[in-house]
C-alpha cells in the first residue's frame, strides 16, 4: 500500500524499548502483582501531580467506583455530573445504587456548566463528579464553593492545568485517571486515583484488594472489597510511559496545532473546532473532536471518511439518551439541549503522538472533500 491509501487510525500508543525492558524485568522477577512496581508507579504519578497519594487500580471505571465510595456515596444519594462523558463516569454512580443527576454543559468548554450544576444540587446531593472532557479542565475551583465532596473524572485530562496553575488531578479531591490504550499514557488496561486524604488512600487500597487491611493475614477481611488491583506488569508499563509523558504531550499538542493550522488555512464553514485555552487554563490533549455543521449527516460522513482510509467515530453520545438510561430513568430529548446538540454533531478525528503533518493534512483534505466544502 502506498502511504496515501494506508488507513489512518483513530489512536495509536507509543511503546518502545523502555516499556519492553521494564515489563521483561517484572516477568523475570517472578512477582507479577503486589510487587515493588505498584508503589513505584503510584509514587511517580503522585509526584508528577504534586499530590500526597495515588492508588493504582485495574481501570478508570474501577477508580471512579472506589473514589465515589471513599467520599461516602451510598444508596439513594444523588451525584451531580455531566451527561457529555464516557458512560463509565455515570455507571460508577449506579454501582452504588446512587442516582446520577445530570446538568447541562458549557457550549464552549463542553464541561459541566457550573450554574446548571449549582441548580441541580438538592439536600440529597452527596457529591459532585465533574468530567474534564476531551482533556479540557472542568471548572472544579468554582464547584468547590458548594462545600460538597468532589470526585474528578480526569481520565481524559492527564497534562491539563487549571487557571490557578494546579494540574488537573492535583487539587486533593480523588481524581481518577485511565490508562486504556488510547489515553495519554497506557498500561493496556488500568487506572489510578490521585488524592490528598490519607483516609481515602487507606480505604481505597483495602477495597481494591478484597477489603484486606494492610497488616491482615491472607484470608482475613474486615469490609467488603473488590479485586480492582493493577498488576506489576501493568505498573512497569506505566512507569515507562510516565517517563515519556512530556514528549508525548508535546507531540499531541503539535498534532493539534497542525490540525488548527490546516483548518485555518481553508476554513470549513460552520465546523466547530476544539475550544482554545482560555484564562490560563490548559488542555491536556487527548482527542481532536470537531462538531460538524448542522446540515451534515454524521453517519454518512463517517462512512465516507472510512472509504477514504480515515478512521473517525461519534464522540461522545449523550449518556442520558442511551437506551439503558432512558428506560431506567425516563430521560428524553430536550432535557439537556446543549449536550444533545454537541453530542449529535461530534466526531473524533485521528489523533496520536506519532501522527505526521502529512497525515493531518490528508485527514483535513478528505473531510473537506466529504463535506463538499
Ligand atoms: C477512558 C475514560 C474512563 C475510564 O475508562 P476505562 O476503560 O475504565 O479505563 C472514564 N471516563 C472517561 C471520561 C474516559 O474517557
Ligand 1 atom closest to 191 (CA):
9
Residues β-bridged to residue 349: 288
What is the C-alpha separation between 25 and 17, in angstroms, rounded? 12
Task: Identify the structural domains of the chain with CATH numbers, from first to last.
Answer: 17-243 (3.40.640.10), 245-372 (3.90.1150.10)
Q: How far is CA 320 from the centre of its chain?
A: 18
Ligand 1 center to 184 CA (angstroms): 12
Q: Is the dihedral of CA 183, 134, 351, 308 positive or negative?
A: positive
Hunting for cell 449518556 — which residue is that?
319
Phi, psi of 150 (to 5 degrees): -125, 135
Is the CB–ligand 1 distance for residue 191 below 6 Å? yes
Which amino acids are annotated catalytic? 183
Please say whether the beta carbons of 79 and 101 come within 8 A: yes
Q: How many CB atoms lie within 10 A of CB 174?
A: 30
Ligand 1 center to 157 CA (angstroms): 11
Is the CB–ligand 1 distance for residue 286 below 6 Å? no
Is the CB–ligand 1 distance for residue 180 below 6 Å? yes
pLDDT in tens, the chain (373 residues): 455 679 999 999 999 999 999 999 999 999 999 999 999 999 999 999 999 999 999 999 999 999 999 999 999 999 999 999 999 999 999 999 999 999 999 999 999 999 999 999 999 999 999 999 999 999 999 999 999 999 999 999 999 999 999 999 999 999 999 999 999 999 999 999 999 999 999 999 999 999 988 766 656 677 899 999 999 999 999 999 999 999 999 999 999 999 999 999 989 999 999 999 999 999 999 999 999 999 999 999 999 999 999 999 999 999 999 999 999 999 999 999 999 999 999 999 999 999 999 999 999 999 999 999 7
Ligand 1 center to 178 CA (angstroms): 6
Is the CB–ligand 1 distance for residue 58 below 6 Å? no
Ligand 1 atom closest to 190 (CA):
9
Ligand 1 center to 5 CA (angstroms): 31
3-state helix, strand, coil in the chain (%, to 5): 40, 15, 45
Mutate to test the pocket of ligand 1, among 67, 83, 85, 89 (most ligand atoms within 8 A of CB): 89
CA angle 348, 353, 356 (to 5 degrees): 90
Amino acid at each position: 500500500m502506498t502511504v496515501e491509501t494506508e488507513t489512518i487510525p483513530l489512536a495509536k500508543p507509543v511503546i518502545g524499548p523502555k516499556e519492553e525492558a521494564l515489563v521483561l524485568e517484572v516477568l523475570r522477577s517472578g512477582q507479577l502483582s503486589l510487587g515493588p512496581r505498584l508503589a513505584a508507579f503510584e509514587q511517580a504519578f503522585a509526584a508528577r501531580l504534586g499530590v500526597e497519594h495515588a492508588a493504582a487500580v485495574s481501570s478508570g471505571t474501577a477508580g471512579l467506583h472506589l473514589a465515589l465510595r471513599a467520599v461516602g456515596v451510598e444508596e439513594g444519594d444523588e451525584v451531580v455530573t455531566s451527561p457529555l462523558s464516557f458512560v463509565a463516569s455515570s455507571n460508577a454512580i449506579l454501582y452504588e445504587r446512587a442516582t446520577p443527576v445530570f446538568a447541562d454543559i458549557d457550549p464552549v468548554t463542553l464541561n459541566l456548566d457550573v450554574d446548571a450544576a449549582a441548580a441541580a444540587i438538592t439536600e440529597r446531593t452527596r457529591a459532585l463528579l465533574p468530567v474534564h472532557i476531551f482533556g479540557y479542565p472542568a471548572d472544579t475551583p468554582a464547584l468547590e464553593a458548594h462545600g460538597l465532596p468532589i470526585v474528578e473524572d480526569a481520565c481524559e485530562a492527564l497534562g491539563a492545568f487549571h487557571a490557578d496553575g494546579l494540574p488537573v488531578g492535583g487539587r486533593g479531591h480523588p481524581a481518577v485517571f485511565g490508562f486504556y490504550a488510547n489515553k495519554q499514557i497506557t498500561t493496556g488496561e488500568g487506572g489510578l486515583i490521585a488524592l490528598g486524604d490519607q483516609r481515602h488512600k487507606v480505604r481505597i487500597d483495602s477495597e481494591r484488594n478484597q477489603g484486606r487491611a494492610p497488616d491482615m493475614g491472607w484470608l482475613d477481611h474486615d469490609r467488603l472489597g473488590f479485586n480492582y488491583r493493577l498488576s506489576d506488569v501493568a505498573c512497569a508499563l506505566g512507569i515507562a510511559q510516565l517517563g515519556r509523558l512530556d514528549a508525548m504531550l508535546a507531540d499531541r499538542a503539535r498534532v493539534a496545532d497542525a490540525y488548527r493550522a490546516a483548518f485555518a488555512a481553508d476554513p470549513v464553514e460552520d465546523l466547530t473546532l476544539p475550544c482554545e485555552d482560555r484564562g490560563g487554563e490548559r488542555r491536556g490533549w487527548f482527542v481532536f473532536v470537531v462538531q460538524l455543521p448542522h446540515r451534515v449527516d454524521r453517519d454518512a460522513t463517517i462512512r465516507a471518511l472510512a472509504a477514504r482510509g480515515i478512521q473517525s467515530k461519534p464522540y461522545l453520545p449523550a449518556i442520558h439518551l442511551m437506551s439503558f438510561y432512558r428506560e431506567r430513568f425516563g430521560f428524553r430529548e430536550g432535557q439537556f439541549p446543549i449536550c444533545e446538540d454537541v453530542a449529535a454533531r461530534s466526531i473524533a478525528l485521528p489523533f496520536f503522538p506519532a501522527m505526521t503533518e502529512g497525515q493531518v493534512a490528508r485527514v483535513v483534505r478528505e473531510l473537506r472533500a466529504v463535506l463538499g466544502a
